[in-house]
Amino acid sequence: DSGVTQTPKHLITATGQRVTLRCSPRSGDLSVYWYQQSLDQGLQFLIHYYNGEERAKGNILERFSAQQFPDLHSELNLSSLELGDSALYFCASSVDLAGRYNEQFFGPGTRLTVL
């Protein structure tokens, strides 16, 4: 158990809908990262938050948005869902600003299926 929790574990929804994925980092970790893993795209970095502020953006679509709250939990919002958004969404946390200096601890993921 990494100490990072993600809810829900599974989510099945229809095209055009909007969903929110939630992540709670390890106790004491200030950085939260979001990743999308699909069969055809591999593991893609989406966005990084540190202590409530956005620090880096990766391949995140405009339909997607995220935020980190004062209690450090984070939410990833996916809207106008398309079939291609079906994937595993992981959140990870690390203790410091730059995960490149320290390991990232990954949550168990949320499996999103868009029908």
Partner 1 sequence: SQQGEEDPQALSIQEGENATMNCSYKTSINNLQWYRQNSGRGLVHLILIRSNEREKHSGRLRVTLDTSKKSSSLLITASRAADTASYFCATANTGNQFYFGTGTSLTVIP
80, 61 in Cβ contact below 8 A?
no
Which CB, 92 or 114, lies closer to partner 1?
92
Nearest approach, Cβ of 16 to partner 1 (angstroms)?
27
Q: Can you tell me the distance from the alpha carbon of 11 to that of 112, in angstroms, rounded to the nearest whole number?
A: 5
92 counts as binding partner 1 under rule CB under 8 A:
yes
Binding residues for partner 1 restricted to 28-67, rule: CB under 8 A: 33, 35, 42-45, 48, 55-58
115, 47 in Cβ contact below 8 A?
no
Tokens coding 93: 């946390």
Nearest approach, Cβ of 7 to partner 1 (angstroms)?
14
Nearest approach, Cβ of 43 to partner 1 (angstroms)?
4
Phi, psi of 70 (to 5 degrees): -55, -30
25 counts as binding partner 1 under rule CB under 8 A:
no
Q: Can you tell me the distance from the alpha carbon of 87 to that of 114, in angstroms, rounded to the nearest whole number?
A: 9
Degrees, nearest 5: CA angle 26-10-115: 140
115 counts as binding partner 1 under rule CB under 8 A:
no
Which CB, 3 or 16, lies closer to partner 1?
3
Query: What residues make contact with partner 1 under the rule CB under 8 A?
Result: 2, 4, 33, 35, 42-45, 48, 55-58, 88, 90, 92, 97-109, 111
